[in-house]
Structure 1
Amino acid sequence: MTTSRKKKSISRYGKTHKEALQKLRAVITESAQGIPVADKTWKLADYLNYWLAEVVKPNRRPATYAQCETIVRIYLKPGLGRQTLGSLTVSEVQKFVNQLLIDGQSVPNVHVIRKVLSAALTRAERDELTSRNVARLVELPSEERKEIKPWSLAEVVRFLEVVQHHRLYAAYLMLFYGLRRGELLGLRWKDVDVANSKIRIRQQVQRVGRQIIIGPLKTVKSRRDLPLLEPVAQALASHYDRHAIKNAELIFTTAQGAPIDPGNFLRDFKRICEQNGLRVIPVHHVRHTVATLLKSRGVADRDIQLILGHSRIVTTQEIYQHDDDDSRRTALQGLAGSLLTPEPKTSQSESSGMLADAIDGRGSRQLSRQFTSPVKADATNNLGGAYRIRTDDLFHAMDKHDGVSGRLAGVDKALADCRRQWILGIVAVNLAVKNPVTPEPYDHNLAA
């Protein structure tokens, strides 16, 4: 029985009669289990065309469709397009992805290519055209994320000082709401609810190919309301008075009233950073900056997730929140403060200086003396201070104080006496067990 509930004659080929018979029996077994046979033999290239047109394009965002179409056209069709859908094996797909890596494709790119193929084969499983998704069984090197170092609070303040007279100052200020670049450029005047002090995130601007389009948000959770803060309200009012285009629906537009190209916005951001000596980060990393700064201020992860518009809180915690040297130092100093007793004499900066001198080969005697006495934290520093190990103090005290050696000798003598008594007891018990004493018979006459 086929997927369209029609009967179909099946034939299978093999190098030997036994191999062909095994394939035919496999088809009979699947038919008995209710698994239908495809109406026709699909080439992978043909099925990928069907999948793009009938599944991806009607149900996914235009940018997603554009990415999938590019990967299918450039990689999947040339590499695997001639294979039949039902006969595609794990080893064939493994060789394909291995060759991509050999040809110089990056590991993240190969992961995306495998992901697109897997999505198409998952749909083929649902259409009952194949019995398994072989792309899921392929092994790839683990994808290592590049380390992201978001801006510090000082860098954020410096950036806002630099752009305060820029035409798009309100847009750069609103970046620190944690908005995505497309969400920011897609804001409309009607999305600003002054009466209720809210900003509604409802659409985004994207570049798809050569077109700038206004489309839906990335996920359902991306649709969110954020508070309209007073500095932002003032910046938007100033932008409206100076730069708003008449009858333009969008807040941020070009001088002609058209939507701003996200790529141009990124390039302008980078240029501002370079011209003013700021550390250049991608615009998207401002979202990482917002998540990290909110975390450092003790904001709950759930609230940060809602502000950023993430579908899962794990994304917020594992990808967008970062620590830094200051947060690690604060955490460890807090732990040290709860475990050790500080002594406020030497400040942490002085201790660090002495340690640096020791590493450089200077002041080693001072450092050794310092490490034999405790150092308290500065009373004005509530984050804890520097601590010193007092291991050597015990031995110095034992040498200096009279009577300590005598007490230790007495303790050793008492322990030696106890040890001898314990050994003699064990020997006596062992001898008693090996040579038991036989009692003499009881004589009643003698007792009388």
Structure 2
Amino acid sequence: MRRGGHPNQAAESALGLVRDGADPEAGATLEEWLRVCAAGSARLATSTRASYTEHIDVYINPVLGHIPLTELTIKDLNNFFTALARRRTRRNGSTLSAGTVTRVHTTLRAGLNAALRRGLIAWNPAREAEPPRRHRPRAVVWTEDLIAHWRATGERPPVAVWTATQTASFLAAIAEDRMYAAFHLIAVRGLRRGEAAGLRWCDLDLDRGLCFITHQVQRRDGEIVQGPPKTPTSVRAVVLDRTTAKVLKAHRRKQEAECRARDVVPSGFVFTRVDGQPLAPEYLYRRFVALLPSTGCRRSGCTTYAMAQRRWRCRPEWT
């Protein structure tokens, strides 16, 4: 059995641990260690654990899993990331995005850092590896001049932000929709989808105009689960303006009438399905895209309709 990367006397000590069996993980392959690491870390959030598991099973283990931890090199990782960047997706045949490769690198680096703390390796080769750089696009305001340029040339920014007027036009056009209050709240107060879907009536004080963000919901293995917000600073109190409080009060009356008409027990969530059960966060996005054509006119070439027909690649960011 071999174990490398140790200076002089430390190598003899480490080799003794392997031979004596004092450390059961000593000599493990990368696949064996990553599975132990992903399953045993109590600090990982549910969504993070699911993401790590997907990266390990789909990307890392089929290529690098057979290599012993102590024999993993920077060259192995660089070759892996180069091949990963050229890999085609099954959905549309395009190559993996630089963001996906970066997240896989983060998973691998975290697992090797855990092995380093455990004393199974002497250094972390993922720190010196060079995955493709991820260039985050800068958001620009979707102004009338930019819209005119897009219509004339077909060139559009990767990320565009609606103006206040465009947002108001969208909200006015969907005022009768069942999810209007959700989109109004997200647009005006900047809640994430998971935070809006996980909002409960007990988290609201509409008389004082307060909204308390204490958790979010996510879909995991087909089930809607509750968990903490994305970051510790996401736990916050949000002040509601009078119009937003009025919209939420009207939404509550409609929800109560809907529950009585369908003879269902309210779940306590602010935004629900027709059966009173909580929403999955991705439903809000799908509903948003579905509503876009109704906000514009085909004959006039409305901006929102045209972008919806292009599968909304401008990715509107609520501000």
Structure 1 residues 254 and 224, CA gap change in structure 2 (3 angstroms): same
Alignment of 1:84-233 (within 5 A): 84-103=68-87, 104-146=95-137, 147-176=158-187, 177-233=189-245
Asked if structure 1 preserves the Cα contact closer than 8 Å seen for 2:174 and 2:295, the reply is: no
Match of 1:41 among 16, 21, 27: 27
Structure 1 residues 12 and 243 mapped into 2: Cα distance closer, same or farther (>3 Å)?
Answer: closer
1:344 aligned residue: none
Contact residue 266 and residue 277 of structure 2 kept, 8 A: no
Aligned pairs (5 A) from 1:9-408: 12=2, 26-30=7-11, 39=23, 40-55=26-41, 58-103=42-87, 104-146=95-137, 147-176=158-187, 177-244=189-256, 245=259, 246-277=265-296, 278=304, 279-280=307-308, 281=312, 285-287=316-318, 290=319
Specify the SS of the correspondent of 1:175: helix
Q: Is the Cα contact below 8 Å between 1:180 and 1:284 reproduced in 2?
A: no
Change (3 A) 1:25 1:209: closer
Contact 2:116 2:124 in 1 (8 A): yes
Q: 2:159, 2:315 within 8 Å by CA — same for their partners in 1?
A: no
Change over 3 Å in CA distance of 1:254–1:283 after alignment to 2: farther
1:281-326 Cα offsets, whole Å, 9 max, x none, are 5897433xx1xxxxxxxxxxxxxxxxxxxxxxxxxxxxxxxxxxxx
Moved over 6 A (4+): none
Counterpart CA distance in 2 for 1:154 and 1:67 is 38
The amino acid that maps onto 2:37 is W
Q: How many residues align?
A: 266
CA contact (8 A) 2:101 2:132 kept: no
User: What is the CA deviation profile of residues 249-298 of structure 1, one whole-angstrom value per residue up to 9, with x for unaligned ones?
Assistant: 101101101111222221110011123222445897433xx1xxxxxxxx
- Report the Cα offset of residue 218 of structure 1: 0.8
Gaps of 5+ in 2: 88-94, 138-157, 260-264, 297-303
> The residue matched to 2:317 in structure 1 has which SS?
helix
Are the structure 2 counterparts of residues 27 and 274 from structure 1 closer, same or farther at C-alpha, using a change threshold of 3 Å?
farther
Alpha-carbon spacing, 1:157–1:25, altered in 2? closer, same or farther (3 Å):
closer
Q: Secondary structure at the match of 2:161?
A: coil
Letter in 1 for 2:281: P
Deviations 1:179-238 (A, max 9, x none): 000101111101112354211011112112322222211111000001121111111111
Structure 1: unaligned runs, 5 residues or longer: 1-10, 14-22, 291-448
Report the alpha carbon displacement of residue 240 of structure 1 after superposing the two structures with TM.
1.1
Residues 33-63 of structure 1: CA distance to partner in whole angstroms, max 9, x if unpaired?
x9995523111111011001101xx322211
TM-score (norm 1): 0.55
**Distance in 1 separating the partners of 2:134 and 2:106:** 13
Describe the shift of the 1:282–1:66 C-alpha distance in structure 2 as closer, same or farther (beyond 3 A).
farther
Q: Do 2:109 and 2:126's aligned partners in 1 also have CA atoms closer than 8 Å?
A: yes
Which one has a larger percent helix, Structure 1 or Structure 2?
A: 1
AA in 1 matched with 2:40? E
Task: Return the TM-score normalized by structure 2.
Answer: 0.76
Equivalent-residue separation in structure 2 for 1:30 and 1:284 (angstroms): 53
- SS at 1:167 equivalent: coil
Aligned counterparts of 1:89 and 1:184: Cα–Cα separation in 2: 44
Q: 94-103 or 71-80, which moves further after superposition?
A: 94-103
SS of structure 1 residue aligned to 2:212: strand
Q: 1:84 to 1:27 in 2, by over 3 A?
A: farther
The residue aligned with 2:147 is none
Work out the CA distance in 2 between the residues paired with 1:163 and 1:283: 20
Superposed displacement of residue 111, structure 1: 1.2
Write the deviation string for residues 413-437 of structure 1: whole angstroms up to 9, x where unpaired. xxxxxxxxxxxxxxxxxxxxxxxxx
The higher relative CO (CA closer than 8 Å, separation ≥ 6) is in 2
Note the C-alpha offset of 1:31.
5.8
Q: Percent identity?
A: 27
AA in 1 matched with 2:44: R
Contact 2:160 2:315 in 1 (8 A): no
Aligned CA RMSD, in angstroms, stands at 2.5
Between 123-132 and 206-215, the greater mean CA deviation after superposition: 206-215
- 1: CA distance between counterparts of 2:224 and 2:168? 32
Larger-gyration structure (1/2): 1
Contact 1:266 1:282 in 2 (8 A): no
Aligned to 1:392: none
Shift of 1:66: 1.0
